[in-house]
Every structure is written in C-alpha cells, then in structure tokens.
Amino acid sequence: VTIALVNALVEQGEYRPARRLLGDAAKKGPPALALALMRLHLTFGAIEAAENALALSEKRGASSEALILHRGFLALAKGDHGPAADLFTEALSKEAGNVTAATNLALCLLYSKQLVRAVETLENVIRAEPCKAMTYPAVFNLCTLYDLQGGEGHHKKQMMRSLVKMFAPEDFDVAACKL
C-alpha cells in the first residue's frame, strides 16, 4: 500500500510528501522500502540521502544480491562507471537473467566507450531469457545501441521487433524498437 501511495504522489509531482511517507515507512518496514527510498533519492540526485537509505536497508537485513545491485546504482549516480560496472557484473553472476543489472551494466560500458560489450551484454540477457528480458528499457536501450553502431543497426532493430512480437506481452509498445 505504501509503495502505491508513493507512486501516486510521484506521478502527481508531490515529491516531498512521497519521500517523507516512504522515509517513515522505511524506518519500520522491510528492507525493500529502504531500497525504494534510495532509488527515489537517486531520482532527484540526493546522493547523501541515497547513501543513508542504503545503509538503513543493510541494517534492516536486505539481501546481498539487492545490496550489490543498489550499490551499483549509487556508484553509477556518482559517475563511478568502473566500480558500478563491477557491481552490475557481480549482480549478473548471481542472477544471469537480471535485466536491471544488464541494462545498467550496458550503460556503464557505453560510458566507458565499450559499445560492442554493451550491445553483447543486452543481447545475451535477452537471448538467455527472452520472455523475462523483453522489457521496454532493455529493448529501447539495445536499439539505441544499434543506432550508435551504425551499419546493420536497422536490420538488427527489425530482428528485435520480430523477437518482441514473439516474446513480449501483447501490450508491449513496439516503439521501443525505434523503427
């Protein structure tokens, strides 16, 4: 219920009440609420507040997998692409089909001028678990990377659209393929 209320407040542009509500709930609730608070702080560039929320989630017993992923988010927000990439790689080693880790790792690789590895990262996660990995951010980011590669990018995006039709939910927005 708390997350639904926070989401509604954020959608209405009521960020302070959303952070206050989630902050109060995170102090007493499960570690997932502290992690959600951390992500909300990162959305607004509040790095120190995000660090505090991460520390709270650790105190409240967040799983090691969740902590690794969220430490990656924090490192990425600080512009520490190398350490962030290491953390997202570690998250992927623990859960190979983690689309969030793969998408963020691809972003770190792109920032580190490793376009080919960024493309391979997203292609591998989609290839491994197409039904689970066929998310709008993963498809959109991969198609954007195809644009950056040039050459066969248009053909690769057409192939991605075919995969979307085969594996994505019916309501998936094919605009992610950028054709």
Give the model confidence (pLDDT) of 112-125 as tens digits: 999 999 999 999 99
Whole-angstrom Cα Rg for the chain: 17
| pTM to 2 decimal places | 0.90
With H, G, I as helix, E, B as strand and everything else as coil, classify residue 107: helix
Q: What is the mean pLDDT of residues 2-20?
A: 91
Q: What is the pLDDT of residues 57-106, one digit of tens each?
A: 999 999 999 999 999 999 999 999 999 999 999 999 999 889 999 999 99
User: Mean pLDDT in the chain?
Assistant: 95
Distance CA 151, CA 144 (A): 13
Structure tokens at 140: 């959109």
